[in-house]
Structure 1
Amino acid sequence: MQEVFPKAEIVLDKFHILQLFSRALNKTRINVMNRDKKNYNKLKTYWKLLLKDQTKLDYKNYTYHRCFKKHMCEVEILHYLIDLDSELKASYELYQYVRHCIKTKDFELLKKTLANKQNSVSSYMKTAIKTINKYINYMENTLKYDYSNGILEGINNKIKVMKRISFGYRSFYHFRNRIFITQNLAKIKTA
């Protein structure tokens, strides 16, 4: 690749970076959940709150929650969950910092955060940090440029779904035309 495109800069997809850290946080939650039988159902039920953007948490509306047997808002539930384990709390904070750095495109803050938070987080998060540090130059390009392969992945997914639903095509010509039509790259001839 370096020979063919010597001036090309490699960019990581932001979605996959967030996915790496969210999966690490989720594995940490599952680890805590399996150790703490008393709060097992709470950690299992409210896992989405841990992955939700901190700025989008609801702190005004109180609703009844069966696991807690009282009215609570999302922020109270979240604080209860992360206070159960210090490793979970540190991993959650790192995940939120990474989300913030990607959103604001602040590479220096990201580097500082990854260096400072490495001791107190779970082993899953340490693996995610190690992976990002391995590709830190590409990470800088990710925050510098607005490129994403999300559209291409969406098209590939749509093609796979078409292939799966149709149980295959006898003619590649018909399959190719179907792809072109669904992507608005070809028009259907009407008489």
Structure 2
Amino acid sequence: MKLLLKNEKDLTYTVYKPFGLFGQTTDRTVVDTLLSYDERLQVNYTLYQSLLNAMKDKDINTLQTLLKQPLHEEISLDFRRSMRTLKHHLSSIENSFMYPFNNGRIEGIHNKIKVLNRVAYGYRNFTNYRQRIFIHFKLKRASCVS
């Protein structure tokens, strides 16, 4: 259920919605009911929410503490694998917290070029294809490039 993946702070206490198995109730009531069924689910959910809040707040100290503490025996194997991956990439995560840079713009340009490549399959030579990319992105040709 997607409500378990939602941040705890975003769950509603006052807005009632119809749920198939739970009737007319709030998001928070559904999550509390699901967590009351299984202790293992509750332990995993608590750890997940702690990680989620540390990342949302960009708190590297809390994240390091959570990743370095010994794991409870009831943590699922998939969650353990995710924790190992986070530990492995901790320095990159720390950099993403400190610096506002990302590669979103480059990825967008790359995606547009790939789409243009699919659409413009019939170009006879690379020069025409290259000119099309320049036109699409409104780029000026460098004077030294022929």
Fold match (TM-score > 0.5): yes
Equivalent in the alignment of 1:88: 41
Equivalent in the alignment of 1:146: 100
Instruction: Give the CA deviation at 1:123.
Output: 0.7
Equivalent in the alignment of 1:124: 78
Structure 2: gaps (5+ residues) = 141-146
Could you list the per-position Cα deviations for residues 120-159 of structure 1 after superposition, in whole angstroms to 9, with x for gaps in the alignment? 3211111111122223233322222222222322332333
Alpha-carbon contact 1:94-1:117 (below 8 Å) kept:
no
Q: Which amino acid aligns with 1:49?
A: L
Match of residue 62, structure 1, among 13, 16, 21: 16
Instruction: Give the CA deviation at 1:180.
Output: 3.9
Alpha-carbon contact 1:90-1:117 (below 8 Å) kept:
no
Instruction: Give the CA deviation at 1:112.
Output: 1.1
Instruction: Give the CA deviation at 1:108.
Output: 0.8
Could you list the per-position Cα deviations for residues 10-56 of structure 1 after superposition, in whole angstroms to 9, with x for gaps in the alignment? xxxxxxxxxxxxxxxxxxxxxxxxxxxxxxxxxxxxx2212222222
Could you list the per-position Cα deviations for residues 77-129 of structure 1 after superposition, in whole angstroms to 9, with x for gaps in the alignment? 12223333333322222222222212212111011112336223211111111
Higher relative CO (Cα under 8 Å, sequence separation at least 6) belongs to: 1
Aligned length: 138
Alpha-carbon contact 1:64-1:72 (below 8 Å) kept:
yes
Alpha-carbon contact 1:65-1:71 (below 8 Å) kept:
yes
**1:51 matches 2:10:** no
Q: For 1:180 and 1:91, locate their aligned partners in 2 and report how far apart those are by CA, in whole Å.
A: 50
Q: For 1:175 and 1:82, locate their aligned partners in 2 and report how far apart those are by CA, in whole Å.
A: 56
Q: TM-score, normalised by structure 1?
A: 0.60
Could you list the per-position Cα deviations for residues 40-79 of structure 1 after superposition, in whole angstroms to 9, with x for gaps in the alignment? xxxxxxx2212222222222111222222x2111111122
Identity of aligned residues (%): 32
**Cα root mean square deviation, aligned:** 2.5
Q: For 1:140 and 1:61, locate their aligned partners in 2 and report how far apart those are by CA, in whole Å.
A: 37
Q: TM-score, normalised by structure 2?
A: 0.75
